[in-house]
Amino acid sequence: MTEAEPVPAAVPNATDSNGTEVLNATAKFVATPEGTALAYGSLVVMALLPIFFGALRSVTCSKSKNSADAPETITSRDAARFPIIASCTLFGLYLFFKVFSQEYINLLLSVYFFVLGVLALAHTMSPAMSRIFPESFPNKQYQLLFTQGSGESKEEIVNYEFDTKNLVCLLISSVVGVWYLLKKHWIANNVFGLAFALNGVELLHLNNVSTGCILLGGLFIYDVFWVFGTNVMVTVAKSFEAPIKLVFPQDLLEKGLEASNFAMLGLGDIVIPGIFIALLLRFDVSLKKNSRTYFYSSFLAYIFGLGLTIFVMHTFKHAQPALLYLVPACVGFPVVVALCKGELTEMFSYESSEEVLPASPRITSFPTVSGSPASLAASMETMATGSSPRHRRVLPTSM
C-alpha cells in the first residue's frame, strides 16, 4: 500500500513523527509541489535500492556453499497460502488495535522490531565490513549455544555462530536501534525498513516463475480488497509503529528533519515484486548469454508501476494498493519480452531451487537458529510475518 498522509482531501488529520494522528481543527497542512515531488521521488529511489542490490546479492546467495547462509525457497503451496495468512495477520492486528491500548501494543512491537532490525541491519552491513577491514584484522570466531534437555534428548534451540566483524556490525546496528527505540525518528525507521527489504529480496527465493505468478496474483487480490474494500489496511498502517513501511516527509523543506507529514510506501510493495525480479535475474544468469534482459525489463516495469501508483494516488487523493499496478507491470513486461524472444517455455520451466542446497526439514515450531547472523536475521524475519514458508532456504514481508 502507498499513501500520502497529509493531503487534505485524502486524510483529514496530520500525523506526528510517531505516525499517530493529530487533530488540527484550525488549519491543515498543504504540501507544496516541491515538497510532494521530493517525497515521492525519495520513496521511489528508496524502493529501487533494495530491489536492485538485493537481486544482485540473491545470485551470490543462491550459489553459497554455506548451508547456514543459504536462502529459503517459497513453493507454489506456500505462495497460495500466503495471502490467506497475511489477511489473518492483518485483520488480527486490526482487532488488537481496536480492543487493546495502542500504546502498549506499539511498545511491545518496538522492542521486538528493535532486535529484528539490529540483526537485519548487521547482515546488510556485513559484506561491506568484510571489505573495509584489512586482512590483518584479528577476526576471532564465536558461538552462542542454547540447548534444551540433556543426554540423547538434548535439543538445540539456538546455535549462533559469529565473528569479530559481525560484532562490529551488531554494535553499529545497535546504535541505530537505540535511536529508533527512543525517538522513532523517520530516518531510523527507513534505515531499518531498507535493511528488511534488502534482506527479503536477497534471501527469500521463489522456486519458479509459476510460483511467482501465484504469489503476486494472490497478493494482488489481497491488496485491492484490504485497501478499497475496507479501512483495515490504512488503519493498521497508521497505527503500527514499526519499520514495516518507508516514509518521507512532504514538509521537509519547511521543517527540516523534524518534519512530520509523511507519504508512505509499505515494504510488501517492495519485497513482493522484488523477489520476483530477483528470480528473473537468476534466470538471466542461468541462460549464460551475458545479458540481463529479463531483470532490466522487470526492473523498468516496477518503476513504471510505482510511478503509475503515485500518479493515481496524487490525482484521486486516496491511498492506493500499489500491487494493483505493480503486479500487472512486473509480470506482464517480462512475459511479453519472453514471447518476443521465443523463450516463454524456457522461462516457465526454469527452477531456481535447482541451484541451491538440498532442502532441510520444514519448520513447524519455534525455529532452531543455527549458523551466521544472516541465518538468525532470516529466521526472525520469517517469524515476524506470521507465516512459515518451506525452510529450503529466507523471509517474507507483507503489508
- Apex CA 255: angle with CA 174 and CA 190, to 5°? 30
Q: What is the DSSP string of 73-117?
A: EE-HHHHHHHHHHHHHHHHHHHHHHHHS-HHHHHHHHHHHHHHHH
122: cell is 548487521
Tens of pLDDT, residue by residue over 281-334, are 999 999 988 889 999 999 999 999 999 999 998 888 888 889 999 999 999 999
What pLDDT was estimated at residue 389? 43
Which single residue is written with the C-alpha cell 527469500?
204
Residues 227, 250 contacting (CB under 8 angstroms): no
Banded pLDDT at 236 (limits 50, 70, 90): confident
Which single residue is written with the C-alpha cell 506456500?
78
Q: What is the DSSP string of 237-299?
A: HHH--SSSEEEEETTHHHHGGG---EEEEETHHHHHHHHHHHHHHHHHHHHTSS--HHHHHHH
The pLDDT of 21-43, averaged and rounded, is: 72
What pLDDT was estimated at residue 45? 96
User: Mind telling me the catalytic residues?
Assistant: 223, 269
Which single residue is written with the C-alpha cell 529501487?
48
Please give the share of the chain, as a percent, with pLDDT higher than 90.
46
More confident residue, 51 or 155: 51
What pLDDT was estimated at residue 366? 33
Residues 129, 168 contacting (CB under 8 angstroms): yes
- Report whether pLDDT(385) > 80: no
More confident residue, 385 or 327: 327
The pLDDT of 365-394, averaged and rounded, is: 42
Mean residue pLDDT of the chain comes to 80
Using a CB cutoff of 8 Å and minimum separation of 24, what contacts does 291-295 make? 293/337, 293/341, 294/334, 294/337, 294/338, 294/347, 295/55
What pLDDT was estimated at residue 66? 55
The pLDDT of 107-115, averaged and rounded, is: 89
Other CB atoms within 10 A of residue 153 CB: 7
Q: Provide the 8-state DSSP code for 143.
A: E
